[in-house]
């Protein structure tokens, strides 16, 4: 191993007692490959097994905590006890490859496709999401949740956490990022409520913090072995009004006092600067690390392609670095860096390599047909006589 990459392979013990072999994490990525009932499929198990040998931690794709919380076709579910066997299969598969595994739990809110939730698209308020591109039809406005429904969803996060414990996971990651329901409550764009769940910045923090409290309550009641709880968030929104970095730093300050195992900063580019903040000269990640001030570990992510960039994330103060696209293109990324073979890292998706890379067809089709998602290798030109 190149000595300059040694920090990536230092073990760490989380506050909960969960022990990780290294600081590299498989980022949570939707794969569209579960069955129609919401169960994990054999193809998904093979996909995760291929990417679990080497990383210290696997964060699963998101699983919905209520029936109307589904965000994607082919999403495995966690909203009912009947899904425990499905969830158990996934946990055992990842752990069998030597990694720890945490179940990412979420509710899509207004981002749920109406066809997947029987038309019952809900959110903090009846405010439609903004869609990029003039060619797209305006998104319909969701139904505003009642106060009683909000409390039911908080409890649903706890119930899915209980199922994760029963299924043998090493923890759960609360998905408060990427425009889904938890972020919708925190955002002044999507939350126009006047009850205790909306209004001031502090009131908009009530739902995220209530979910954290409920999840931690369930862990304290049901977990008999170390069980970690992480929280993922997006630090800014492009909309006006929208979440600013200063808003997120206030939330981070509260979360850092909750005794969480880590905070996961969802970024498209790990060194990106803020759009709107009191300080626009220092990166978002560095400002978040400074606000946390050592109270809980921070996980960085976003366009981390090389081991040099992964090490830089740690140098910026994060304790972990999550890789997504890199482990799609090269499932052996971690092993190659550990063995000093970083020159062999694959940096484009081999369009002839679906079987070798062990990627199920629904995800494969999305990867090769979505411009800009991944750099693609060129298909061999046809041989002419």
pLDDT digits (tens, 9 = 90+) for 284-343: 999 999 999 999 999 999 999 999 999 999 999 999 999 999 999 999 999 999 999 999
Q: Note the pLDDT tens digit of each residue in 143-198.
A: 999 999 999 999 999 999 999 999 999 999 999 999 999 999 999 999 999 999 99
Contact 265, 300 (CB under 8 A): yes
**Segment 103-121 mean pLDDT:** 98
Matching residue, tokens 């600081």: 23
User: Which token pair is 376?
Assistant: 């693609």
Is 180 tagged catalytic?
A: yes
* pLDDT surpassing 50 at residue 27: yes
pLDDT of residue 385: 40
Task: Tell me which residue has tokens 């139904």.
Answer: 143
Strand partners, 366: none
Let me know: does 30 contact 16? Beta carbons within 8 Å.
no
Confidence band for 132, pLDDT divided at 50, 70 and 90: low
How many angstroms separate the CA atoms of 115 and 312, rounded? 42
The C-alpha atoms of residue 72 and residue 39 are separated, in whole angstroms, by: 13
Rounded CA separation 92/173 (Å):
18
Active-site choice (47, 169, 180, 231): 180
- Is residue 56 predicted with pLDDT exceeding 90? yes
> Can you tell me whether residue 318 is helix, strand or coil?
coil
In the chain, what's the furthest Cα-to-Cα distance? 74
What is the helix (H) or strand (E) element at residue 162, kind and residue range?
helix 147-166
Complete domains list, the chain, with CATH? 3-369 (3.20.20.70)
pLDDT for the residue numbered 318: 98
Range in 206-210, 266-270, 371-375 the model is least confident about: 371-375
Q: What is the pLDDT of residue 133?
A: 52
């Amino acid at each position: 191993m190149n000595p300059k990459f040694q920090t990536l392979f230092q073990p760490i013990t989380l506050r909960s007692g969960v022990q990780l072999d290294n600081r590299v994490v498989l980022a949570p990525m939707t794969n569209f490959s579960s069955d129609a009932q919401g169960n994990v499929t054999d193809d998904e198990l093979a996909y995760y097994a291929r990417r679990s040998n080497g990383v210290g931690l696997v964060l699963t794709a998101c699983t919905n905590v209520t029936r109307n919380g589904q965000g994607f076709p082919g999403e495995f579910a966690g909203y009912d006890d009947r899904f425990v066997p499905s969830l158990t299969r996934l946990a055992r598969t990842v752990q069998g490859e030597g990694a720890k595994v945490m179940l990412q739990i979420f509710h899509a809110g207004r981002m749920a496709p109406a066809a997947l939730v029987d038309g019952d698209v809900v959110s903090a308020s009846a405010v439609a999401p903004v869609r990029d591109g003039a060619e797209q039809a305006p998104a319909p406005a969701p139904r505003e949740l009642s106060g009683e429904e909000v409390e039911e969803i908080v409890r649903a996060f706890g119930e899915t956490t209980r199922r994760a414990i029963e299924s043998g996971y090493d923890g759960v990651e609360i998905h408060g990022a990427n425009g889904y329901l938890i972020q919708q409550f925190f955002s002044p764009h999507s939350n126009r409520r006047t009850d205790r769940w909306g209004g001031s910045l502090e009131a908009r923090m009530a739902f995220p913090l209530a979910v954290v409290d409920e999840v931690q309550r369930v862990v304290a009641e049901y977990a008999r072995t170390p069980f970690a709880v992480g929280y993922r968030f997006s630090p800014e929104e492009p909309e006006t009004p929208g979440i600013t970095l200063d808003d997120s730093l206030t939330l981070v300050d509260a979360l850092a006092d909750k005794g969480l195992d880590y905070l996961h900063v969802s970024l498209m580019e790990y060194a990106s600067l803020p759009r709107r903040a009191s300080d626009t000269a220092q990166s978002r990640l560095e400002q978040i690390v400074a606000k946390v001030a050592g109270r809980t570990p921070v996980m960085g992510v976003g366009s981390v392609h090389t081991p040099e960039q992964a090490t830089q994330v740690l140098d910026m103060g994060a304790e972990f670095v999550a890789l997504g696209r890199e482990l799609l293109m090269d499932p052996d990324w971690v092993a190659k860096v550990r063995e000093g073979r970083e020159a062999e890292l694959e940096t484009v998706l081999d369009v002839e390599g679906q079987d070798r890379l062990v990627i199920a067809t629904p995800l494969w089709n999305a990867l090769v047909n979505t411009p800009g998602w991944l750099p693609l290798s060129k298909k061999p030109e046809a041989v002419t006589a």
